[in-house]
Structure 1
Amino acid sequence: MLSAWRRRRRELESVDAWRYRVAWSPVAGGTGTLTGAWLVVVPQGHTWDVWVSHVVKSMEERGASPVVVELASSATDGDAVAGPLRAALARAGDAGIVGVLSLLALAEGRHAVHGSVPLGVALTLAMVQAAGEVGVRAPVWCVTRGAMSVNGAERVRNTEQAGVWSLGRVVGLEAPERWGGVVDLPDVLDGWVTDRLAWVLAGGSGESEVAVRGAGVFCRRVVRAAAGGHRRAGWRPSGTVLVTGGTGALGRHVARWLARAGAERLVLVSRRGPGADGADDLRKELEGMGTRVELVACDVGDRMAVAELVSGVVAQAPLTGVVHTAGVLDDGVLEGLTVERFEEVLRSKSEAAWHLHEATRDLGLSAFVLFSSFAGVVGSAGQANYAVANALVDALAEQRRAEGLTATSVAWGPWADEGMAVSSSKVSRNVRRSGLAPMDPRSALRAMERSLAEGESSSVVVDADWPRFTAAVEARPWERLLSGIPEVRQLMTDSADDTEAMWVEDPAALARRLRSLPQTERSRELLQLVRAYAAAVLGHTGVDAIAPDRRFMEIGFDSLTATRLRNRLSAATGIQLTVATVFAHATPTALADYLLATYAAPPKRPRPRPRPRDRA
């Protein structure tokens, strides 16, 4: 008995080490001034909104020259936005712009065709893509209003705007050279708020995720969940529990956990229901544990179908709990994503969660558990649509709690044993390379039990090797976001003077060194740089693993790792590369030759400035 107690104690200590949460920390703020021309991008019809006008006027009063760009609600692809941005750049003149402030998150409603995608997310995606296309290199800042809650007294009023936050995190990872950050503002814009906004936009805070309030500036952090905090008796399932994605990899583990914990009846929902592979075997297994099982085919992205599903369940017996595990992946870098690809991912995750919320809000559930993802909390390069979907799920949990309803959203790291994050060999390699270890499902569910017992509205459960994870970080925003974790903070301190840190090259110093070398040595120097960064991106310990004349795709590169290589080389050389450039120069030698030729090319002469036209 004593040995069993000790084993359980060790397991609880282990799963507690996996548990984290999001917190807001005050930043010593000040007032700031702005300079130069700023593009201010707003949804059509909002230009004369009092709140928006106040933001624009406050920028003028603090030294900026705003150039306002209106985008129609139909402008949800890069091509439709590129024209207005080019026109705005021309209006800014030869001096160019020093920053972009996007208020597109304020657009209300959903995309006209892809109705699972918030319009603000669709417009922001198109703006970011178009900004890259037209050559905007100034930092992009996105503003939301009432999308974040920095303390228990605040209520999230615009949950759909939380998707812009998660989209921004991915932009910061995939295109760090043109990302500023995201700022949440209150409804009331007094002088304190606008002063602090200018300070943040001017880089005074050094943060990329902040909430500005009359009481101060707050930065977003991931921190460890307090071990041994206040615990209630915990949720013990009883009666009928509905599980979405119930025949999938995650849903099967959840169903077994619920059956062991005492659920009398399980309604397992999936697209194919009883026709899903292995569904009948799962039903027999669960019934052998003493639980009645119903397998139902339902498209949980369909509002009416979910309403009918819940009505049918309740007609037979009271529904006591919901666990939403359903979700799909459609990964790709930002340059290749479309609103349609966002639709498919959001429909099965965040839109389905909203339908479940609407259909059950009056049933007095004892548990409403949402499976979210670590990707939504910290961002994940190559997974913008998935990150946004999960951020919206987290925001829904916050909204339900504010309404007095039960809700727990768990942002998971990868699971072992067929979890979605490790469902393909390529994804599995990327996961393990990142320092995130796939978690044993039973132990992961034990961590979720702890979160439920402590009454958390949202939590993060991830088994992270932080030294390895931070070594794989491709952009500086993560350094701040994760600095609330002691191991990460210590690593940042230890590596402050480490010449092997992420951005090891100073572009100006590299250029001087190249000029001092003979031609053949320049080529060799750049080839060594390309091979070193390629090895680091793929997780190799040395450049010998990267043959100079092997094609990048042959040695394991895909669009995500090519993005990471592009980011590193752009930061090191000062040459703005694209992912297409990496693949067009398909070997390390060819890419090094391209870099050398770019260094040698004469600078482009500026185009003559057009004569100003008289305004009517």
Structure 2
Amino acid sequence: APKPHRGDWAVIAQEHPELWAGIIDIEPSEGTQQHYQEQSLMVLNQILRPEGENQIALRGGQAYVPRLIHQQQQSQSGSLPLQLKPDSTYLITGGLGSLGLKIAEWMVDKGARYLVLVGRSQPNPRASEIIGKLEEQGVMVVLEQVDVSQEAQVRDCLNRIQVSLPPLKGIIHGAGVLEDGVLLHQDWAKFAKVMKPKVEGAWNLHRLTQEMALDLFVLFSSATSILGTPGQGNYSAANGFLDSLSHYRKGQGANALSINWGPWAEMGLAAGVGKRMTMLGIEPIQSPQGLQILEQLLAQDVAQVGVLPVEWSTLKQRLPIELPLFLSEVITTETLPPQGDGENDNSGIFDQLLASTTTQREELLKDYLKQQIAKALGISREISGSSNLMDLGADSLMIVEVLNSCKKDLKITLYPREFYERPTITALAEYLALEMERLHQPQPTQTSLTTTSLSDIKNWANPWAWNNNSERNFTKPSQRNRSMVFLLCSPRSGSTLLRVMLAGHRDLFCPPELHLLPFDTMAERNQSLGSTHLGEGLARAFMEIMNLDAEASTTLVEEITEQDWSIQKVYGRLQVVQTCSASQ
């Protein structure tokens, strides 16, 4: 069945390159236990494979992966031109938009004499002018104010066509809206706004015309569903559904074609983002070229074709992630310039920063950020280090692009929050300089973890029952421990969020949940938690406070569990040990 998530995985991968995003399409269940086991093993095997595939279909015990391949534009010499039937009706959704009207004019040139233009609003003056010219040529143009996401409205529209017009022979589904924004700023309302006309509209047209002998069922999809465009997760998902629907119809023996269009020049939804697409190396499609390609595609027996004039080397340079294997057939070493070419090459910036002093590093980072932000904004003028980047027009999509460049060139993972808190190049450069030093520079006098024998650990555990005057034999750390925060509450959403926030602070140590409060003794705790990972928080706390390695810390937890310490006693000793370590 058609699936919208086929389009948004690539956007997730580009907006969050620190995560793995992909699709494993398993075979429809046969309902047997053996089938479930085989499918589970195959999924696990694919997850553990190192090849880097992120689109996999499992069928008949085999794994299949997709590849984008070149298809040369075919010459029309020797083939008959497309001829639409003058005694048939053709329906265009999104028919009152600039692209829909251009398609209507083209269909008339190809012989159509009955058109139904579907839109949610009344035609504007420009649309009325074009429709008037078509009617002067003897064409009957019927305007239908219909929301294609509403099944009842689509059914009524089709019934009116059946009653008053020649048989419906062709559908071009071009309806759609945009509501861009990075996934972290999206909500379901924004997703639904974009998905409804594409997904529900296409599904309604599919279901309600299954009994009709259609010559054309064309879905205007977008290149975003195959390439992924940061900030267009909802739009990519919606178009991914159209692609899946086309393959689904083909599998049922019905007519279907999904075209992954690049941006059309000065028209269509992509006209507003044409500048950004150009920066990615994707040039706009001129109307005569697009219409010529459409005619050629209608003569072919294919389910899905991408149409985009693209400079692959530019696209590769702008990708925030490693080259997806899906593109490996079209982006090869032969299509790319040698490494280091181009005035904006940053292949050596990381080593240069490591070899610089703090002052030099900040200046280098200022120049680097100016270059990246100017590229994201699409401007060539000099940007002041003190300018507020929000005032310059930087939006969430541009910020994601800059942050992804930082990850690729500087090996630093940043988040939009860190950008918003430092909206000037100077402030951001200072922060990145500190992060470079913290993450990539050798730290002086690092405290080494203590490897301790089992007998020493047992001796440590026993004296923990000491009185306040007992000797406390802890290894003195070579530097003061970080400040520590313990959240003494049971796990819940609020405390978990606070714990994650504190754990992200470089100057604080906040261990995972200790899982002590629900129990009276360590033996009771051990019986409840067993061998789950929930007990790791206490061991982590001991590692940090007492400067132990993992084995020694685990042994210590085992010892106090065997002695069945009370939970109150564990908390008390943690407080004493932390105070002692901090004062040394």
SS of alignment partner, residue 397 of structure 2: helix
C-alpha change, 1:279 and 1:311, in structure 2 (3 Å) is same
C-alpha change, 1:455 and 1:233, in structure 2 (3 Å) is farther
Alpha-carbon separation, structure 2, partners of 1:208 and 1:319: 40
Superposed displacement of residue 366, structure 1: 1.1
2:458 corresponds to 1:592? no
Structure 2 unaligned residues grouped into runs of 5+: 30-34, 439-505, 516-524, 530-584
User: Deviation string for 1:192-241 (max 9, x for gaps)?
Assistant: 76555334322422222222334533222211125559998675322111
Alpha-carbon separation, structure 1, partners of 2:170 and 2:436: 62
Alpha-carbon separation, structure 1, partners of 2:267 and 2:23: 35
Alpha-carbon separation, structure 2, partners of 1:282 and 1:304: 29
C-alpha change, 1:357 and 1:446, in structure 2 (3 Å) is same
2:285 aligned partner? 439
Alpha-carbon separation, structure 1, partners of 2:253 and 2:81: 18
Code of the aligned partner of 2:48 = A
Equivalent position to 1:288, from 131, 136, 140 = 136
Alpha-carbon separation, structure 1, partners of 2:139 and 2:286: 24
Superposed displacement of residue 593, structure 1: 1.2
C-alpha change, 1:608 and 1:302, in structure 2 (3 Å) is closer
Show the 5 A alignment for 1:374-413: 374-413=223-262
SS of alignment partner, residue 356 of structure 1: helix
2:304 aligned partner? 458
Figure out how many residues of one structure are paired with residues of the other and give that number.
Answer: 444
Given that 1:333 and 1:383 are in contact with CA atoms closer than 8 Å, whether structure 2 keeps it comes out as yes
1:561 aligned partner? 398
Superposed displacement of residue 172, structure 1: 0.4
SS of alignment partner, residue 345 of structure 1: helix
Given that 1:570 and 1:577 are in contact with CA atoms closer than 8 Å, whether structure 2 keeps it comes out as yes
User: Deviation string for 1:41-73 (max 9, x for gaps)?
Assistant: xxxxxxxxxxxxxxxxxxxxxxxxxxxxxxxxx
Equivalent position to 1:309, from 151, 157, 171 = 157
Equivalent position to 1:528, from 364, 367, 370 = 367
2:294 corresponds to 1:448? yes
2:514 corresponds to 1:610? yes
Structure 1 unaligned residues grouped into runs of 5+: 1-157
Given that 2:117 and 2:141 are in contact with CA atoms closer than 8 Å, whether structure 1 keeps it comes out as yes
2:64 corresponds to 1:218? yes
Alpha-carbon separation, structure 2, partners of 1:329 and 1:204: 36
Given that 2:369 and 2:425 are in contact with CA atoms closer than 8 Å, whether structure 1 keeps it comes out as yes
Code of the aligned partner of 1:583 = Y
Show the 5 A alignment for 1:15-414: 158-160=1-3, 163-187=4-28, 189=35, 196-225=42-71, 228=74, 236-238=83-85, 239-273=88-122, 275-316=123-164, 317-414=166-263
Alpha-carbon separation, structure 2, partners of 1:436 and 1:493: 15
2:357 corresponds to 1:518? yes
Given that 1:244 and 1:268 are in contact with CA atoms closer than 8 Å, whether structure 2 keeps it comes out as yes
SS of alignment partner, residue 534 of structure 1: helix
Which moved further from structure 2: 549-558 or 452-461?
A: 549-558
Superposed displacement of residue 537, structure 1: 3.5
Q: Which has the higher contact order (CA 8 A, sep 6+)?
A: 1
User: Deviation string for 1:62-102 (max 9, x for gaps)?
Assistant: xxxxxxxxxxxxxxxxxxxxxxxxxxxxxxxxxxxxxxxxx
Superposed displacement of residue 341, structure 1: 0.5
Higher strand share: 1
Bigger Rg over Cα: 2
Superposed displacement of residue 286, structure 1: 0.8
Given that 1:211 and 1:218 are in contact with CA atoms closer than 8 Å, whether structure 2 keeps it comes out as yes
Could you tell me the TM-score, scaled by structure 1's length?
0.66
Given that 2:5 and 2:241 are in contact with CA atoms closer than 8 Å, whether structure 1 keeps it comes out as no
Alpha-carbon separation, structure 2, partners of 1:492 and 1:261: 38
Which moved further from structure 2: 518-527 or 435-444?
A: 518-527
Alpha-carbon separation, structure 1, partners of 2:508 and 2:92: 60
2:567 aligned partner? none
Superposed displacement of residue 591, structure 1: 0.5
Superposed displacement of residue 184, structure 1: 1.6
Given that 2:6 and 2:241 are in contact with CA atoms closer than 8 Å, whether structure 1 keeps it comes out as no
Alpha-carbon separation, structure 1, partners of 2:216 and 2:298: 9
SS of alignment partner, residue 258 of structure 2: strand
SS of alignment partner, residue 212 of structure 1: strand
Given that 2:101 and 2:127 are in contact with CA atoms closer than 8 Å, whether structure 1 keeps it comes out as no
2:563 aligned partner? none
Alpha-carbon separation, structure 2, partners of 1:216 and 1:209: 14
2:388 corresponds to 1:579? no
User: Deviation string for 1:394-453 (max 9, x for gaps)?
Assistant: 11111111111111111110001322211x3xx232122121111111220210111110
Alpha-carbon separation, structure 1, partners of 2:229 and 2:241: 15
Superposed displacement of residue 320, structure 1: 1.2
C-alpha change, 1:573 and 1:497, in structure 2 (3 Å) is closer
Given that 1:467 and 1:491 are in contact with CA atoms closer than 8 Å, whether structure 2 keeps it comes out as no
Superposed displacement of residue 481, structure 1: 2.1
Code of the aligned partner of 1:468 = T
